[in-house]
């Protein structure tokens, strides 16, 4: 309050003093130039000069602000252009995320050309062009991205690989990712993409060689890696020696089995695939002891099922082995089906019938019906055989017949 009073007092005093000066010393100004004559009092002239200076200063500020902000006075200023490029980049990235490829390409192409760090914009433009089927332009954007940021070779290479995958050019994508692997053998994303491509191309041997590196670099979690490794060896067993003679194929299968990690040797799916391949190559006698050993260690209905499907060197011994399991698993319909098959293989018709009927007592399954129907036909009971055939046909219309392992390889049932 005191301060405001003092300021007001100073202003009033200055005004009074100025008024006194004006009244006592009015002054006089005369300006004459080539016929122009200006004549006025000193104080009014000073006020006019101050007003002109104020107007000029204000005009200068307005011009500077208009130029700096890129407004209406100078719409082509560098700052205004930079703002338009930023807006184009934002719109392009939003369009890219929302799948509006044509708009994204237009915005990103424009923004990348003016940006000082255009790597992400060029990569986005490459993807948009790729989605539009403009592959040459997409590749050109990748080259521009690498030229703009030479140290981003891995990022550009990964982007190129993904775009090639999207085009369905898997072999070209594999070549690209392998070149990156040679350059950066420990890069997690490089390893992950290589794993994906090898799986898509069904190159099981190469994928099996890659798995130790995937494990060391923790590219996948333990559960995913276990599933991948199991799938690799299941498929590798099933295709071993496809392009060789029977003898050479069997040798190739043996060699591949030796490469299976010990932790997977008794995995039901891997062992089942190996056993089926042995049987397909006429070496079922090698498969049955492996199956029996695995079942003794850890009872698996799927392996029990195969044990009854694959003919070993000694069917009577197979039957004795399987009957030993019955003590601990008397209510397993899969084991009863296997015992019926092994009994039939040993020409024990009555025992086979009992086992098949016992299996059907636990689960009505078309495969068990078919086995019993064939046996009854062989025994001369035509009417009962036909009844079982009809029941089997009715049951087979179900989407997934119950009672047998669901994951067994196609064609086993």
- Could you report the per-residue pLDDT of 347-373, keeping only the tens digit for each? 999 999 999 999 999 999 999 999 999
Predicted pLDDT of residue 175:
97
Mean pLDDT, rounded, of the chain: 86
Residues of the chain with pLDDT > 90: what percent?
66
pLDDT band, very low/low/confident/very high, at 152 (cuts 50, 70, 90):
very high
Is residue 46 scored above 80 in pLDDT? no
Q: Which domains does the chain have, with CATH numbers?
A: 82-168 (1.25.40.10), 272-413 (1.25.40.10)
Measured at the CA of 362, the angle between CA 359 and CA 367, to 5 degrees, comes to 50
The three-class DSSP label of residue 38 is strand
Predicted pLDDT of residue 43:
60
pLDDT digits (tens, 9 = 90+) for 157-198: 999 999 999 999 999 999 999 999 999 999 999 999 999 999
Predicted pLDDT of residue 247:
80
pLDDT digits (tens, 9 = 90+) for 115-141: 888 999 999 999 999 999 999 999 999
DSSP symbols for 332-382: -HHHHHHHHHHHHHTT-HHHHHHHHHHHHHH---HHHHHHHHHHHHHTT-H
Query: Measuring CA to CA, how many Å separate 140 from each of 97, 103, 296, 331?
Result: 21, 18, 62, 67
Is residue 73 scored above 50 in pLDDT? no
Predicted pLDDT of residue 52:
76
Residue 30 pairs in a beta bridge with 39
Predicted pLDDT of residue 61:
74
Measured CA to CA, the distance from residue 267 to residue 278 in angstroms comes to 16
State the CB neighbour count (10 A cutoff) for residue 4. Answer: 8
Measured CA to CA, the distance from residue 384 to residue 356 in angstroms comes to 14
Of the candidates 73, 77, 106, 71, the one whose C-alpha atom is nearest the C-alpha of residue 92 is 106
Predicted pLDDT of residue 243:
57
pLDDT band, very low/low/confident/very high, at 413 (cuts 50, 70, 90):
very low
Measured CA to CA, the distance from residue 302 to residue 261 in angstroms comes to 21
Is residue 407 scored above 70 in pLDDT? no
Q: List, as own/partner pairs, every contact residues 121-124 make where C-beta atoms lie below 8 angstroms and the sequence separation is at least 24, other chains included.
A: 121/89, 121/92, 122/148, 123/155, 123/156, 123/159, 124/92, 124/93, 124/96
Eight-class DSSP state of 260? S
Least confident of 9-13, 47-51, 223-227: 9-13
pLDDT digits (tens, 9 = 90+) for 263-318: 898 899 999 999 999 999 999 999 999 999 999 999 999 999 999 999 999 999 99
Predicted pLDDT of residue 411:
41
pLDDT digits (tens, 9 = 90+) for 212-222: 999 999 999 99
Of the candidates 397, 349, 402, the one whose C-alpha atom is nearest the C-alpha of residue 371 is 349
pLDDT band, very low/low/confident/very high, at 22 (cuts 50, 70, 90):
low
Assessment of whether the complete model's pTM goes beyond 0.75: no
Measured CA to CA, the distance from residue 129 to residue 108 in angstroms comes to 10
Predicted pLDDT of residue 48:
72
Least confident of 84-88, 142-146, 151-155: 84-88
Least confident of 46-50, 351-355, 409-413: 409-413
Is residue 67 scored above 70 in pLDDT? no
Is residue 385 scored above 80 in pLDDT? yes
- Is 253 in contact with 241 (CB distance < 8 Å)? yes
Q: Which residue has the higher pLDDT, 88 or 7?
A: 88
């Amino acid at each position: 309050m005191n301060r405001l009073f003092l300021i007001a007092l100073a202003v009033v005093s200055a005004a009074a003093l100025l008024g006194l000066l004006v009244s006592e010393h009015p002054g006089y100004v005369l300006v004459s130039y080539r016929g122009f004559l200006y004549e006025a009092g000193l104080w009014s002239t000073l006020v006019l000069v101050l007003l002109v200076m104020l107007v000029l200063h204000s005009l200068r500020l307005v011009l500077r602000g208009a130029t700096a902000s890129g407004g209406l006075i100078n719409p082509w200023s560098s700052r205004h252009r930079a703002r338009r490029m930023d807006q184009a980049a934002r719109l392009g990235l939003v369009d890219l995320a929302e799948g509006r490829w044509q708009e994204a390409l237009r915005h990103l192409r424009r923004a990348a050309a003016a940006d000082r760090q255009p790597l992400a914009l060029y990569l986005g433009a490459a993807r948009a062009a790729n989605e539009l089927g403009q592959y040459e332009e997409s590749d050109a954007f990748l080259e521009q991205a690498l030229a703009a940021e030479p140290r981003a070779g891995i990022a550009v290479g990964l982007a190129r690989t993904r775009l090639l995958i999207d085009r369905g050019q898997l072999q070209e994508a594999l070549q690209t990712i392998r070149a990156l692997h040679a350059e950066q053998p420990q890069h997690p994303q490089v390893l992950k993409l290589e794993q994906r491509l090898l799986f898509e191309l069904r190159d099981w041997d190469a994928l099996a060689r890659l798995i130790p590196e995937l494990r060391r670099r923790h590219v996948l979690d333990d559960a995913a890696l276990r599933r991948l490794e199991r799938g690799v060896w299941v498929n590798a067993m099933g295709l071993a020696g496809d392009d060789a003679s029977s003898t050479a194929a069997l040798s190739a299968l043996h060699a591949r089995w030796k490469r299976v990690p010990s932790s997977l040797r008794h995995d039901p799916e891997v062992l089942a695939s190996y056993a089926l391949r042995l049987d397909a190559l006429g070496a079922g006698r090698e498969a049955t002891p492996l199956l029996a050993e695995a079942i003794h260690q850890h009872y698996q209905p799927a392996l029990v099922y195969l044990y009854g499907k694959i003919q070993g060197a000694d069917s009577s011994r197979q039957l004795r082995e399987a009957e030993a399991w019955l003590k601990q698993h008397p209510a397993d319909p899969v084991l009863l089906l296997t015992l019926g098959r092994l009994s039939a293989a040993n020409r024990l018709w009555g025992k086979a019938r009992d086992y098949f009927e016992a299996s059907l007592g636990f689960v009505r399954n078309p495969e068990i019906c078919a086995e019993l129907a064939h046996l009854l036909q062989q025994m001369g009971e035509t009417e009962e055989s036909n009844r079982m055939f009809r029941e089997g046909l009715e049951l087979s219309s179900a989407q997934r017949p119950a009672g047998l392992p669901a994951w067994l390889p196609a064609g086993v049932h």
